[in-house]
Amino acid sequence: MRPRSSAPPRWCGRRGLPATAGTVLGRQDAGVSVFWDIPYAAAPVGPGRFAAPAAPLPWTGARDAGAPGPTAPAALRAGFGPLDLSALLGSRWVTGQDYLSVNVWTPSPYRDRLPVMVYVHGGGFLNGSGRAALYDGTGFARGGVVLVTLNYAYLFRWRSTAFGGSLGACHCAELPFVFDRTGVPGLRGPQALLGDGDLPSDLASHMYRAWTGFAATGDPGWAPYRPGEDRTVQVIDERWRPAHV
């Protein structure tokens, strides 16, 4: 498998998109349009930090959505001991009040009735950012996907070689394969999430196709998990197999 480049793309054009509070102007290149930092709520300042979100203030003209915006306040927590998770959690707090925003990747030119994937980043309500390097949606947009809501169960068993193999198939180790972003700096190395050993040649492309297929057709390639009936779980490793639990 050839890892995707982690370098930011050199955008060759701009594209406008109507939003609820106004028009945003993003960037497009190679069949993908990206719109960064679109407010979904007003900035939570003063008493607003402890109140329900309010609608964003409308704007006139086109709002520049061509670059990432601020992130929610958080202490730096890039490492868990010597384990580097900056690619998943972000490397720093990007200050600013208007951090209640979304980022959107979409195929370009846009087509009607596209599937949409909404991914909510992790972080234990303490850390994390939708602009972390791992969560680049370019691959999904190129696959014709804008959302997936996951109602299927899976068991990820591929074991990382980090820390001499003691990290194993830990929580969040599957995400670089889901996004097909195993080449992101900070993910490889003896003390990084994916370790420094060889990766399975087609695991990332296989997982990416499963998630893209689910978003587009509702079928990731295995039977759904039905409690009390056919409780099928897809076991994901170098070789994939269904299991009944």
Question: Does the structure show a pLDDT above 80 at 163?
Answer: yes
CB 187 within 8 A of CB 176: yes
CB atoms within 10 A of CB 187: 27
Among 83, 117, 141, the domain boundary falls at 141
The residue behind tokens 């003209």 is 61
- Predicted confidence (pLDDT) at residue 10 exceeds the cutoff of 60: no
123 vs 51: which has the higher pLDDT: 51
Same domain, 136 and 153: no
Mean pLDDT of 57-85: 77
In angstroms, the CA 211 to CA 149 distance is: 10
**Domain count for the chain:** 2
Share of the chain above pLDDT 90, in %: 1
Cα–Cα distance, 198 to 86 (Å, whole number): 21
User: Same structural domain for residues 206 and 233?
Assistant: yes
Is residue 89 predicted with pLDDT exceeding 60? yes
Higher-pLDDT residue of 25 and 222 is 25
Neighbour tally for 47: CB within 10 Å: 7
SS3 (DSSP) at 139: helix
Q: What is the DSSP letter of 30?
A: T
What digits encode the pLDDT tens for the residues 14-27?
Answer: 566 666 788 888 88
Mean pLDDT of the chain: 76
DSSP structure string for 171-235: TTTTHHHHTT-TTSTTSSSTTBTT-SSPPPTTHHHHHHHHHHHHHHHS--SSPPB-TTS-BEEEE
Co-location of 166 and 234 in the same domain: yes
What domain range is 27 assigned to?
A: 10-52+61-141
Whether the full predicted model's pTM is greater than 0.85, yes or no, is no
Specify whether 101 is located in the same domain as 127: yes
Please say if the pLDDT value at position 123 is more than 70: no
Rounded to an integer, the average pLDDT of 192-218 is 86
Are residue 108 and residue 229 in the same domain, yes or no?
A: no
Amino acid identity at 36? W
Domain end marker among 119, 141, 163: 141
- State the pairing for strand pair 32-39/232-236: unpaired
Give residue 8's pLDDT band: very low, low, confident or very high (50, 70, 90). very low
**Nearest in space to 114 (alpha carbons), one of 135, 88, 131, 137:** 137
The least confident of 38-47, 207-216, 224-233 is 224-233
pLDDT in tens, 132-152: 777 888 888 888 887 322 224
Cα–Cα distance measured from residue 16 to residue 37, given in angstroms and rounded to the nearest whole number: 14
Region 170-190: what's the mean pLDDT?
Answer: 85
Q: What is the pLDDT of residue 165?
A: 81
Mention every residue, 6+ apart, whose C-beta is less than 8 A from residue 239. none
- Type of residue at 164: G
